[in-house]
Copies of this chain bind each other. A is one copy, B any other.
Amino acid sequence: MMHQGTHFLQIPGPSPVPADVLAATGRQVIDHRGPEFGELGSKLLRDIKKIFKTQHDVVIFPASGTGAWEAALANLFSPGDRIATFETGHFASLWSRMAIKLGLKPTTLGTNWRAGADPAVIEDALRQDRNHEIRAVCIVHNETSTGSTSRLADIRAAIDAANHPALFVVDTISGLASADLRMDEWGIDVVVSGSQKGLMLPPGLSFNAVGPKALEASKAGGMPRSYWDWSEMIAINKSGYFPYTPATNLLFGLSLVLDKLLDEGLEAVFARHERLAEATRRAVQAWGLENLCNSPIHYSPVLTTVMMPEGHSADAYRRIALEKFNMSLGSGLSKVADKVFRIGHLGNINELTLAGTLAGCEMSLDLAGVPHQRGGVDVAMKYLAETA
């Protein structure tokens, strides 16, 4: 099967990389111990903080987001430590599973694949934890498997209301630079993220933004660790360098992406995502299909997960979109496998790419014989024109 024209990569990440960013990652590699590198490193270690809205250190690993998950756990906790999680979907579940593999004892406070984490449940659990055995509350900000975005400020308030000393650890791998995140204002102790979503980079870089309470905890404890160790990173980063060979070419791209995001302005970036997400949801509703996320306050600006009508295979549908229209959609994962498909609308995206995406979805519904109403693209266009 030969495809013509531009591939529509509309999975919820990796998201399409802008052409100039791809070009930047294709620069010749440089000496990671030379003066030019030091300037590059200092510049981007300074600017990346603005993306996390923090004054504290952001550690950059040459690794996938999964690595940054492990880094956060390894620096903070010791085998046997208890942490509290909230299962908002497959990735929250995977992170919890990783914690178990690393010897921790995660407690799932609640499970809801159709909304964000529930602050009331968290508050309640923390209040009951009189001995303060729970070392941390670990929350996935934007659950990539479902399209729900947890409200971090409310969760912070819940922890405070319970008067509990737990660390607040957040995974925003698919949320960073798409959904607002205010590390310092919201009192987040560690933020985990990756390069291949809102940062519009290829996969291969990941991040731990580390607040002072977390840094202290890591100094006092944590697991035996080397690659993921914050302390050596932070020490050497002071001069713009890294303790081991960094993924230099992704850093070239990161430097450019930071310029682009800060030029557009983070609030404008968030507003753009919100608007395209709203257009997408209106299309889904017009089709008569259901959003997996059924809690409007948790709708994701990054992706929308659509439930397939009973008796229809989401994967067969996605195959049609790929074969007939050269578009990749995200699959349902784990317990929603084949039951949902996910539309990514993040990163380097604009109105017309979204319109093409929704047209591809609508035509594929038709071709797949999925019961639906026409007119989703129409409704989306109406909204986009009104808000142009």
Contact = CB atoms under 8 A, between A and B. Distances in A.
Which of A101, A202, A225, A354 counts the most B-chain CB atoms under 10 A from its CB?
A202
**How many copies altogether?**
4
Nearest to A232: B101
A107 interface: no
Contacts of A385: 363, 366-367
Interface residues of A, number: 95
A385 B364 CA distance: 8
A125 interface: no
Given A29-B202, A225-B102, A352 B377 contact: no
A360 interface: yes
Interface stretch (A2-10, A46-54, A149-157): A2-10
A30 interface: yes
A70 interface: yes
Nearest to A354: B356
A4 B269 CA distance: 9
B225 A101 contact: yes
A180 to B, nearest CB: 17
Interface of A: 2-9, 11, 14-17, 19-20, 22-23, 25-35, 61-67, 69-70, 79, 98, 101-103, 194, 196, 202-204, 223-227, 229, 244-250, 263-264, 272, 322, 324-328, 331, 348-357, 359-360, 362-363, 366-367, 374-375, 377-378, 381-382, 384-385, 388
